[in-house]
Amino acid sequence: MTHKRMIVLDIASLGLGEAPDANRFDSIGADTLGHIADKGLNVSNLINLGLGNVRWDNEIKSIPQVDAPRGFFGKMVTTVDSNRGSASFREMFDYTAGVRTASVMDLLAEKQHSVSIISSFAYYWEKQDDISMVQVPDDSKAFIELSAKMRTQKSGLIYCQLPELRHFARMNDSVGYAKQLNVLDETIGKVLERLRDNDLLLITSSYAIDPTRDNRITREYLPLIVFNPNKDEGKSLGIKRSLGAVANAIVAFFDLDDGEVTKPNFINEVM
């Protein structure tokens, strides 16, 4: 496989509208992106990557579809029977390998791939061995660390979670949320400029928090945007029925399955 480095950018708390099981989690009408769209939102890089195309059936005026998106775009649903953020992380990064369930981080480390985690929390990753972990207090520091890792880590996985949006969501500050997403969008543009030919960038969100609701995680569709520097134009990835699509893609991307039948994944669609 040509590509040897994957960067996963987790815009934690960004949702795309109520999921099919929203009624089970008191999330009917939840729509994080829709509810901040008229608060001065200006996310041209995400739009060009296909964020608006994900909402083809419920288009947002300020986040239009583009005719030739630069990225591959889709959305995912959470299947775990819990609305806690930690459960979503496990669904996104755990992988059933043989007779046990392991984190893809473990599998990568076992195969001698470099793994770096940039996040505001450490409790889920604290038992992971041979992994570089950097705890960050805000988005600015997260991007500083990401930039440094992109310069020094030439292969493997870099996971970067952005912590600030969820704070605006929990404060019911839709305007602040939109402003911070604008800042993130500008920085994503800089990340795109620094990508190499053997990189793959995956932008997603591990859970949603609608800032117009009551300070808790909402059950929504979550974004899936993939950018391959070697592709001039992307296409729809459809709806992935589990956040585990991310783990499956990582396993396929780094060929971690040891000859076993690879689980359904979208890697062949974006290469």
Q: Please report the pLDDT score of residue 94 as a whole number.
A: 76
What phi and psi, each to the nearest 5 degrees, are found at residue 239? Answer: -110, 125
Is 31 in a helix, a strand, or coil?
A: coil
Beta carbons within 10 angstroms of residue 238's beta carbon: 13
Six-digit token pair at 105?
A: 């981080």
- The pLDDT value recorded for residue 124 is 57
User: For the chain, what's the residue count?
Assistant: 271
pTM over 0.85: yes
Which residue in this structure is represented by tokens 């030439």? 154
Kindly give the pairing relationship between strand 222-227 and strand 5-10.
Answer: unpaired
What pLDDT is stored for residue 126 in this prediction?
57
- At a CB cut-off of 8 Å and minimum separation 6, what does 198 contact? 2, 3, 4, 5, 155
pLDDT along the chain (271 residues), means of 10: 82 97 96 98 98 94 97 94 68 65 81 92 61 92 98 96 96 98 98 97 97 94 98 97 92 80 80 92
First to last CA, the chain: 9
Q: What residues contact 270, with CB distance under 8 A and at least 6 apart?
A: 72, 200, 226, 228, 231, 234, 237
Q: How far apart, in whole angstroms, are the C-alpha atoms of residue 92 and residue 68?
A: 28
How far CA 50 is from CA of 35, 216, 240, in Å, comes to 19, 27, 16
Structural domains of the chain ordered from first start: 5-270 (3.40.720.10)
Q: Are 25 and 176 in contact (CB under 8 A)?
A: no
With residue 44 as reference, give the H or E element that holds it: helix 44-49
Beta bridge partners of 157: 6, 115
